[in-house]
Amino acid sequence: MSFSEDFLWGGAIAANQAEGAYLEDGKGLSIADLLLGGDVKTPRTFCSKILRDRFYPSHMGIDFYHRYKEDIKLFAEMGFKCFRTSINWARIFPNGDEQEPNEAGLAFYDSLFDECRKYGIEPLVTLCHYEIPWEITKKYGGFYSRETIDLYVKYAKTCFKRYKDKVKYWITFNEINAGTIDKGRYNGVGLVEDEDLQRIEPIYKSDMIDIPQKRWEALHNEFVASARAVIEGHKINSDFIIGCMICHITWYPLTCDPLDELAAQKKDLMFNDFCGDVQVNGIYNPVGLAELKKEGINLSYITEEDKKILKAGKVDMYTFSYYMSNCISVDKDAEKIKGNLQGGVKNPYLKVSDWGWQIDPQGLKWTLLKIASRYPNIPLMIVENGFGAVDAVTKDGKIHDQYRIDYLKEHISAMKEAVEEGAPLIGYTSWGCIDLVSLGTGEFHKRYGFIYVDRHDDGSGNFSRMKKDSFYWYKKVISTNGENLE
Ligand code: BG6
């Protein structure tokens, strides 16, 4: 067998993209709740006030908050060994800076994790999946403020203590490397400039003001917050396995022109490995720092005390998302393509999804083998991978999503090859195991699930759940421990 007997097969969601109940049981607003929907052509918009009569996809999500028992039962039927979700920070500390946590929020996750355990499903919990409490953004400027580090550590400790016997696997921040690019200013580090805060009309999220110096400092504060959480977590339960989480986009040089090669190498370092190096090795990569200086970033925010914390708070596992690869070229006229968080240059050998993301199973193998060589001493986990597509329901209530099965089959097969070649992979949680709100576009129309949810972009739908063909396929994959992918 390629995969170990205790391989963690499962699925992943995030609180803000599924739970809904956005103000229920004392929950405060989170940054995700201020985002309106977009689509493949139109970016999502942001407004610092909730506008009446507008549709906010996260406010009801897929109503997971009320239907999680039904959903976990379906996950158990597929044979899940692991379920990744996040705790919505604003359910626990509604404004982020209260003295005491919100008991109703804590109780909800108690019940959720108990429900997983009932079926022998191991929860894998992200502490912050693009879910900074909105009040932290407004009052403190998100992670640009060092005070937010303390607020995060307090929140992390509260969760670690409360769930220490229910949750073993943790992730400190989802896709922390979002903070390396302008798009991550809002979702990643929770930064909104005053000018954008004061707008009363929604603006495209992509047009929000980005100040790289502030964003890099905020990212540094997230590193320190993550390292402090790792230190505290291990004190609370030394069995905890706490991971970083990187959005890994694989970058190929478009040609063998040495300049394309160098550009791809730099991109791979600055986007993918810069954050992993800090969180896994506990030090900043010197080449990465030199690049930042070249870009005009003043690095004096990194103190000697911070460096000690980063070294002491190294993560126990490396987790990542993988959806696609991109090319890089020094030729400014090379054809461009969209992508997850970032687009790039089109690869003539690859097909694309309806959302323009290139489909590249071999890129997953490339990624696993690269990470295994770069960080040889820690386990790896793929915590997001999947195919966003439009699904049609037949008259007799069936969803024939062969395209999703094909995508997953090819990716799992590539992952198997990487394991056979030595990658120490301990688990795989497919993204959006149940349909949910798209992060990038805010759509329901872009579906990832094995389970269909009757919810639509105009706010219609009764939230009922239906099994897609991929549901039965993934059940077989899990029951044969990845041996039968047909
Ligand atoms: C990852 C995020 O980058 O991509 C998820 O961690 C997100 O939150 C996923 O949903 C897929 O992206 P999208 O835009 O299709 O939802």
Atom in ligand 1 nearest the alpha carbon of residue 355: 15
Under the banding of pLDDT at 50, 70 and 90, the label for residue 249 is very high
**Span from the CA of 259 to the centroid of ligand 1 (angstroms):** 31
Atom in ligand 1 nearest the alpha carbon of residue 441: 14
pLDDT computed for residue 217 by the predictor: 98
CA distances from 210 to 186, 189, 334 (A): 9, 11, 26
Per-residue pLDDT tens digits for 419-443:
999 999 999 999 999 999 999 999 9
- Note whether 8 and 426 are within 8 A (CB): yes
List, chain by chain if needed, residues with CB within 6 Å of any ligand 1 atom: 14, 17, 174-175, 247, 321, 340-341, 384, 388, 431, 438-441, 446
Per-residue pLDDT tens digits for 467-486:
999 999 999 999 999 999 99
- Our mutation pick for probing the ligand 1 site, out of 431, 437, 443, counting the most ligand atoms within 8 A of Cβ, is 431
- Mean pLDDT of the 48-75 span: 96
Helices (H), 237-295: 258-267, 274-276, 286-294
User: Would you call 320 helix, strand, or coil by DSSP?
Assistant: strand
The closest residue, in CA terms, to atom 7 on ligand 1 is: 439
Mean of all residue pLDDT scores within the chain: 97
Per-residue pLDDT tens digits for 68-100:
999 999 999 999 999 999 999 999 999 999 999
The closest residue, in CA terms, to atom 15 on ligand 1 is: 438
**Span from the CA of 388 to the centroid of ligand 1 (angstroms):** 9
Q: Kindly give the pairing relationship between strand 82-86 and strand 250-253.
A: unpaired
DSSP code string of 71-99: HHHHHHHHT-SEEEEE--HHHHSTTS--S
**Span from the CA of 339 to the centroid of ligand 1 (angstroms):** 10
Atom in ligand 1 nearest the alpha carbon of residue 432: 10
**Span from the CA of 440 to the centroid of ligand 1 (angstroms):** 6
**Span from the CA of 248 to the centroid of ligand 1 (angstroms):** 12
The closest residue, in CA terms, to atom 16 on ligand 1 is: 438
Under the banding of pLDDT at 50, 70 and 90, the label for residue 239 is very high
410 in active site: no
pLDDT > 90? residue 1: no
Any idea which of 42-46, 132-136, 294-298, 413-417 has the lowest mean pLDDT? 42-46
Per-residue pLDDT tens digits for 28-41:
999 999 999 999 88
Helices (H), 43-201: 57-60, 64-78, 89-92, 103-118, 134-140, 147-162, 184-187, 194-197
Per-residue pLDDT tens digits for 312-363:
999 999 999 999 999 999 999 999 999 999 999 999 999 999 999 999 999 9
**Span from the CA of 437 to the centroid of ligand 1 (angstroms):** 9
Given 122, 131, 135, 175, the catalytic residue: 175
The closest residue, in CA terms, to atom 2 on ligand 1 is: 439
The H helix count followed by the E strand count for the chain is 17, 16
Atom in ligand 1 nearest the alpha carbon of residue 440: 14
Which residues on adjacent β-strands are paired with residue 251?
Answer: 326
User: Would you call 384 helix, strand, or coil by DSSP?
Assistant: strand
Under the banding of pLDDT at 50, 70 and 90, the label for residue 410 is very high
Burial of 392 (0-12, 13-18, 19+ CB in 10 A): exposed
State the Cα–Cα distance between residues 391 and 472, nearest whole angstrom.
Answer: 16
Contacts of 294 (CB under 8 A, 6+ apart): none
DSSP state of 380: E
% of the chain surpassing 90 pLDDT? 98
CA distances from 334 to 57, 144, 337, 346, 411 (A): 35, 36, 10, 8, 27
Sign of CA dihedral 322, 277, 218, 167: positive
Which residues on adjacent β-strands are paired with residue 82?
Answer: 10, 122
pLDDT computed for residue 377 by the predictor: 87
Given 131, 222, 384, 443, the catalytic residue: 384
- Our mutation pick for probing the ligand 1 site, out of 13, 131, 247, 439, counting the most ligand atoms within 8 A of Cβ, is 439
Per-residue pLDDT tens digits for 363-391:
999 999 999 999 998 999 999 999 999 99
CA distances from 41 to 432, 440, 481 (A): 22, 11, 39
Amino acid letter for position 169: Y
Tokens of 409: 């089959």
- Note whether 331 and 306 are within 8 A (CB): no
Q: What's the N-to-C CA distance of the chain in angstroms?
A: 16
Which residues on adjacent β-strands are paired with residue 451?
Answer: 434, 467
175 in active site: yes
Residues composing the chain:
486
State the Cα–Cα distance between residues 480 and 5, nearest whole angstrom.
Answer: 10
DSSP state of 265: H
